[in-house]
A = this chain, B = another copy of it.
């Protein structure tokens, strides 16, 4: 095999491919990128068995062939090269020479035969959405997936399509995030659980431009994202997702309207006195016209009033401040509405159209104080 590509094109393609290279694995072939120039195009493929990425690389093929190279070493070599055309050539012993101007690197390759190719997916039933919207909806929900594998379902996000609405849900046992977006057309119903890792990686690759589109294909076990010169294939998480509609009540005893930035900055200040892993709650005393936020710790105390509009009863309630911050950070509205029932029932932050709903469980602060 012998191919010639510009350094920048290789850099761009490898930074996409690296997203499906596992940092730790017992199978060395998974640490490789497959460089496939056996047809008329140059394709880079990486695959960590859960997530696979295939991307087309612009360049010229002087001699057809394919080779698997350690992805990290190859990426590092490309990065250090002068800004010019790079030639990659292999010999019969899988020795690979990478040259650019006067610089010449030699590394050993692996036979492409051992490489795990991406599963072949029938591309039908495709949903089209802008890269901007997909990236945004991931950002607005990904923080409330569960970080560990104790409950596999919680490590993914529900992607549900009904008519022209895409609904994305994540939950971790302490909170639920729900976002809806309206699609340009209606589609048949779909309901899958996409691994959080896939969504994290894909949102790093997406351009985030409003005009750039991504096509999403659904199969029994896989979801496929196709955009620009890249195809991302991910396994789905098997199982029945939580029945979240039953968890979200529309009843409330107290409704408040508050400036989002004022509340966010105030909670952010309060976190100063909370060490990592500390379960100290922030205590919010909601009264007519204002809420008083208070935190006490060994380091000191902090209190501050925030102006609000209130409907309903006064309430004294405690929260893990991080959960409030996570939700407030991804809401774009200037004013937000919070709905409360009692100090033991969840607080819900949502807009009138229910395009977003964030549910947060309170903390029993009397227990926490003891």
Point out residues on A near B: beta carbons under 8 Å: 70, 73, 76-77, 80-82, 102-108, 265-266, 268-269, 272, 299-306
Contact = CB atoms under 8 A, between A and B. Distances in A.
B106 A269 contact: no
A103 B304 contact: yes
Contact of A300 (B106, B268, B272, B302): B106
A82 B269 CA distance: 10
B80 A268 contact: yes
The 9 closest A-B pairs by CB, nearest first: A107-B300, A80-B269, A103-B304, A106-B301, A105-B302, A102-B305, A102-B304, A106-B300, A76-B272
A110 B104 CA distance: 63
19 contacts: A70-B299, A73-B299, A73-B300, A76-B272, A80-B265, A80-B268, A82-B265, A102-B304, A102-B305, A103-B302, A103-B304, A104-B302, A105-B269, A105-B272, A105-B302, A106-B300, A106-B302, A107-B299, A108-B300
Contact of A105 (B268, B301, B305, B306): B301
Copies in the complex: 2
Contacts of A302: 103-106
Contacts of A104: 302-304
A100 to B, nearest CB: 9
A118 to B, nearest CB: 27
Given A108-B300, A300-B108, A103 B269 contact: yes
A257 to B, nearest CB: 18
A265 B101 CA distance: 12
B272 A77 contact: yes
A161 to B, nearest CB: 42
A283 to B, nearest CB: 15
A273 to B, nearest CB: 8
Contacts of A300: 73, 105-108
A107 to B, nearest CB: 4
Contacts of A82: 265
Contacts of A80: 265, 268-269, 272
Nearest to A79: B272
A290 to B, nearest CB: 9
Contacts of A305: 102
A96 to B, nearest CB: 8
Contacts of A301: 105-106
A132 B353 CA distance: 58
